[in-house]
Structures are given as C-alpha cells and as structure tokens.
C-alpha cells in the first residue's frame, strides 16, 4: 500500500499520472486482476506448460 499527497503547485492531471505509475510499479493492478478470478493450481500448471511450449515454438520459427 502506498500514499500519495498532492505536491505544492501540482495539477490534478500530474497527480493522476503519478498515481497510475505508482500502481503499475507496485503491482497493485496486476494483483487485483490475479485475485479477481481464482485459478486452480492445475490450471496454473497448464498455463505454464503452454507458455513454455509456445516460447519453444517461437524460438524454432526465429532460428529457421
């Protein structure tokens, strides 16, 4: 969790931009998306297996 305070002379647009950047850096939105839909451990393993197979296939295409 983080706290942002408006700096002296800072516009609302700059404050919002700073907030968005901070949420990305802290990983808040990614954690929210991950928690939004629970994935079973088997589903996570399946996705990891697919990611590995996909990256191998892409590597083969690049080296061709």
Asked if residue 46 belongs to a domain, the reply is yes
Which pLDDT does position 28 carry in this prediction? 87
Which pLDDT does position 30 carry in this prediction? 86
Per-residue pLDDT of the chain (64 residues; tens, 9 = 90+): 778 899 999 999 999 999 999 988 888 888 888 889 888 999 999 999 999 999 999 999 998 7
Asked if residue 16 belongs to a domain, the reply is yes
The structural domain count of the chain equals: 1
Asked if residue 34 belongs to a domain, the reply is yes
* H-helix or E-strand spanning residue 56: helix 41-63
- From the list 35, 26, 33, the residue with the least C-alpha distance to 3 is 26
Which pLDDT does position 12 carry in this prediction? 93
Which pLDDT does position 42 carry in this prediction? 97
Asked if residue 45 belongs to a domain, the reply is yes
Asked if residue 17 belongs to a domain, the reply is yes
Q: What is the extent of the structural domain holding 17?
A: 12-63
Which pLDDT does position 2 carry in this prediction? 77
């Amino acid at each position: 969790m983080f706290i942002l305070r408006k700096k002296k002379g800072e516009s609302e647009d700059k404050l919002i931009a700073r907030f968005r950047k901070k949420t990305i850096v802290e990983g808040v939105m990614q954690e929210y998306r991950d928690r939004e839909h629970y994935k079973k451990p088997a589903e996570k393993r399946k996705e990891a297996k697919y990611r590995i197979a996909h990256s191998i296939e892409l590597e083969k295409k690049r080296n061709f």
